[in-house]
Amino acid sequence: MPLDLLLLIYLSAAANGLLIGAISLPLIISRSILFALTMTHSILGGAILGVYLNEVLGISLPVPVTAFLMALILSILVAELSERIFSEDVSIALAVALATTITVVFSYLLAKASSTGLSLAWVYVAGTSAVATLGDLQRTLTGLVITAPLMHLISGEIKYIAFDRDGAEAMGINTRLYRYLFFALGSLTASILSMSIGVLATHVLLAIPGAIAVRFFRRRLFAASYLSATSLSLGGYALAQVMNIPPSGGIGILSAIAVIGMVVARES
Amino acid sequence: MGEVELRNVSYSFGDRVALEDVSFELDSPFFCAVMGPNGAGKSTLLKLMLGLLKPQKGMISIMGYDVPREANRVRRLIGYIPQVINIDHRIPMSIEEVVAMAALSRNLPPRIVTGEVRRRVREALELVGLDDPSAQFSELSGGQRQRVLIARALVGEPRMLLLDEPYSMLDFDMKCEIADLLYRLHRDRGIDIFLVAHELSPCIHLEPTVILLNKRVYAIGRAGEVLTLENLRRAYPGLTEIPAGFILGEDHG
């Protein structure tokens, strides 16, 4: 493989890792990881809807935009439902059911109408091939520049709201604004990552670096989250090349090893 | 007009009435305990007073401010202590983080803990008898957690504390310690205390003003005047006599 392409792949992997590190820790410490479940399911539904709009209806709306919007809308739906009507887990289950319905219905319609549509949509399940493009790197870096500073700015408030929402509101903290901003950043991150490493690996990776940071470190949790996310991402890409599988597969294998490692460390 | 005034306040969650035509008035200084059974609307009353909920009918005024319209001003004068049970202890938070947020909440992000904020946190912790700001909230006992939440309320130098079930999940000695701490804050620092509880045991010797509430106010006045069998029967349907430990709490039952 040419050196410049190899460099591009590993720069993309490192950028993916940093992007994940920025969002994973707040997701874990605010106990919002189930929201990531909503986001990843929504991204899949949104991506397939986007491909359907492009391929069948000829509406040229970028697929990452429909994926991002779907994730954002369903995350906000979960927040509103859990605030007004249902418990959080029921609200998440409803949103996931809705996202899955959209995925199934539009997959079926896409399969009927277009011979190539489903394979385009599949990119969002498994990720692109191990070959990264300059566009991938630019997209990830853009997401990183937006997400990382804002997450550092609001992560304390996000944690506090999860700790004591009534108390935070009584202090005058606008809990709804912070939560929506958090969901928007989470949806943006997940939709960018899903294009390169797929929805499944994104879901796994969103949880693990933050969990490692909280489990093994008492200070500098963000640094630990960035480091573990970047290590998993770079290691996953390397493993994928060695095994000749998609990057999501390599990341998935390394993540599984990390989870087993955490369980063993906890037991011992 | 009193320091706290509610006039004909009603609030419902959908079809379920939480409060109906609630009126009372308190003049400062006061140490007031609202007593009522589960589901009596006690926590709803506190949230209405804080402006976290808006009354569907009626008027709430605190320190001359119309609460629904001027909730932010009112919250600067009030320290709120929620039920410990509503706090997620699994979130990793140090005592300093918990208390400092109250000192920083009026700033815009990033809310950085400066030396001045650390000093205020230490002072608030000293007032409630705690000394290690680096300890994790999750590792504290129930009584210590309650003290941290009181310190958090005090760091904003409030004129009034609103407390939601401050004695829940505590053993009797701890309940008395918290009650005495509140009374000291009231006596020494002139802070008005307004708490809701389903038992009065720990603070009854402090002779609070008692409001008997079950969706509506059944009585208000000194404990001895309010806690009669006749009044309690109205607020607690099905009660035939005052059981031992009812007012003094389960621990004395």
d(CA B41, CA B167): 17
DSSP secondary structure of chain A = --HHHHHHHHHHHHHHHHHHHHHHHHHHHTT-HHHHHHHHHHHHHHHHHHHHHHHTS-----HHHHHHHHHHHHHHHHHHHHHHTS-HHHHHHHHHHHHHHHHHHHHHHHHHH-TTHHHHHHHHHH-S-S---HHHHHHHHHHHHHHHHHHHHHHHHHHHHHH-HHHHHHTT--HHHHHHHHHHHHHHHHHHHHHHHHHHHHHHHHHHHHHHHHHH-SS-HHHHHHHHHHHHHHHHHHHHHHHTS-HHHHHHHHHHHHHHHHHHHHH-
Confidence band of A145 (pLDDT split at 50, 70, 90): very high
Phi (first) and psi of residue B240, to 5 degrees: -105, -30
Residue at token pair 């950028």 = A15
pLDDT at residue B167 in the model: 87
Ordered structural domains, chain A, with CATH: 3-267 (1.10.3470.10)
Least confident of A178-192, A240-254, B233-247: B233-247
pLDDT at residue A130 in the model: 57
Contact status of B80 with chain A (Cβ, < 8 Å): yes
Quick check: pTM over 0.90?
A: no
* Nearest beta carbon to residue A160 from set B76, B78, B101: B101
Task: Please give the residue of chain A at the shortest CA–CA distance from B85.
Answer: A164
Residue at token pair 């008035």 = B25
* Nearest beta carbon to residue A170 from set B52, B88, B111: B52
Phi (first) and psi of residue A152, to 5 degrees: -65, -35
Ordered structural domains, chain B, with CATH: 1-77+159-227 (3.40.50.300), 88-158 (no CATH)
Contact status of B14 with chain A (Cβ, < 8 Å): no
In the predicted structure, residue B197 carries a pLDDT above the cut 90: no
For residue A195, give how far its alpha carbon lies from the nearest alpha carbon of chain B (Å): 32
The residue that leads in pLDDT, B218 or B173, is B218
Phi (first) and psi of residue B37, to 5 degrees: -70, 175
Confidence band of B2 (pLDDT split at 50, 70, 90): low
DSSP secondary structure of A154-218 = HHHHHHHHHH-HHHHHHTT--HHHHHHHHHHHHHHHHHHHHHHHHHHHHHHHHHHHHHHHHHH-S
pLDDT at residue B252 in the model: 38
* Inter-helix orientation angle B95-104/B115-127, to 10°: 110
Task: Please give the residue of chain A at the shortest CA–CA distance from B109.
Answer: A153
Average pLDDT over residues B223-242: 83
A168 interaction partners in chain B (CB closer than 8 Å): 101, 105
pLDDT one-digit tens code per residue, B95-112 = 999 999 999 988 888 888
d(CA A28, CA A33): 6
The residue that leads in pLDDT, B242 or A152, is A152
CB pair distance less than 8 Å for A173 and B105: yes
d(CA B51, CA A14): 47
CA distances from A157 to A79, A187, A190, B121 (A): 16, 19, 21, 18
* Nearest beta carbon to residue B91 from set A152, A153, A163: A163
pLDDT one-digit tens code per residue, A153-176 = 999 999 999 999 999 999 989 998
pLDDT at residue B245 in the model: 54
pLDDT one-digit tens code per residue, B52-107 = 999 999 999 999 999 999 998 999 899 999 998 889 988 889 999 999 999 998 88
For residue A138, give how far its alpha carbon lies from the nearest alpha carbon of chain B (Å): 28
* Nearest beta carbon to residue A169 from set B52, B76, B98: B52
In the predicted structure, residue B218 carries a pLDDT above the cut 50: yes
What count of residues does chain A have? 268
Contact B248, B204 (CB under 8 A): yes
What count of residues does chain B have? 253
d(CA B233, CA B168): 23
ipTM of the complex, rounded to two decimals: 0.86
In the predicted structure, residue B215 carries a pLDDT above the cut 60: yes
Average pLDDT over residues A120-130: 71
Q: What does the mean pLDDT of chain A come to? A: 88
B149 interaction partners in chain A (CB closer than 8 Å): 167
CB pair distance less than 8 Å for A29 and B111: no
CA distances from A65 to A47, A48, A206, B195 (A): 8, 12, 20, 50
pLDDT one-digit tens code per residue, B114-147 = 999 999 999 999 999 998 999 999 999 989 999 9
pLDDT at residue A257 in the model: 92
Average pLDDT over residues A5-29: 91
The residue that leads in pLDDT, B99 or B207, is B99
From the list B7, B153, B131, B18, the residue with the least C-alpha distance to B66 is: B7
The residue that leads in pLDDT, B82 or A200, is B82
DSSP E strand stretches across chain B: 4-13, 16-26, 31-35, 57-62, 65-66, 78-81, 160-164, 192-197, 209-214, 216-222
Confidence band of A129 (pLDDT split at 50, 70, 90): low
What percent of chain A is modeled with pLDDT above 90?
A: 43
